[in-house]
Amino acid sequence: MVDFTCADSLSGVASCPTSRVIGGDGTNQSVTSDPATDHAGNSAHGRTVGGINIDGQAPQTKANNLCTATNGYCTGSTATVTLRATDLGPAGVKEVHYSVNGGTGQVAAGASIDVDVPLSGSGNATVDYYALDRAGNQEPNNTIGLNYDNIAPTVTHTLTPTLNAAGWNASDVTVHFSARDDDTGSGVDPSSITSDVLVGDETSGQVVDGQAKDTAGNVGTDSVTAKLDKTQPAISGAIVSGAAGSNGWHTGPVTVHFTCSDALSAVVVCPDDVTLTGNGATSP
């Protein structure tokens, strides 16, 4: 609105132009008043006021997340958020204000800024922002959120049946893998978990590897060594002492020594020597 004032040193002002309103945005606009009169009947031409600049609209900022993302989750050590402001009026953008994760506010001169956002572990990051134009118009505060996940799932295993105290199985063993993601992560993709593995052939150590992915693409791994021995140990006995008679008989006490062997898990217990002292056709 442009107001006009009038003065007359003799007869006094009879009429003075009313205020004029300029409603539209624009630069270097002008307005001309109606004439003014005094009580003597003199009339003054209307006065033109120029150089009027009007901008009644706040700027608008667009935010674009440029991180490497899988299923909506950023990965990597940093993400870049581009802030690009456009003024809807003629004044032009003066500066962009922003903060990362609720931190100290920053000011970038001009209409654009690339904001680096640290991505440590997993969670959600935020960038708050707004733009200010040269006329002083300020847009409302805006926020862009980034989900991120740099932590692979934890993969574990179970064996059925469980291993004995020496770490062996005596029958077919099934290796089962399971996975869990951290609480702020993207979650495990169930289809990515390694299927059960059956170990049925005897082995002194078969490594079974498993893995799982989360929905952000991080891969967790696990491995277990399965040892399987389904063959009973071999045992044999031989007479190591005793007075030999004739026709396969002994005439005094006989000591029998046992020998044991196992090709895989090795012998844990082998019988002690046995001494036979009684008469008779006895076998150990």
Cα dihedral 179, 211, 169, 227 sign: negative
Domain boundaries, the chain: 13-54, 60-149, 154-228, 234-276
Residue type, 164: N
Cis before 161 (ω within 30): yes
Q: Compute how many other C-beta atoms are within 10 angstroms of the C-beta atom of residue 226.
A: 22
The pLDDT tens digits of the residues spanning 92-146 come to 999 999 999 999 999 999 999 999 999 999 999 999 999 999 999 999 999 999 9
Which element (helix H / strand E) includes 187?
Answer: none
What is the dotted CATH code of the domain comprising 60-149? 2.60.40.2550
The pLDDT tens digits of the residues spanning 214-269 come to 999 999 999 999 999 999 999 999 999 989 888 889 899 999 999 999 999 999 99
Question: Which pTM was predicted?
Answer: 0.74
Closest CA to 169 of 267, 269, 264: 264
Q: What is the 3-state composition of the chain as percent helix, strand, coil, each rounded to the nearest 5?
A: 0, 55, 45
State how far the Cα of 115 lies from the Cα of 148, in Å rounded to an integer: 16
State how far the Cα of 64 lies from the Cα of 114, in Å rounded to an integer: 9
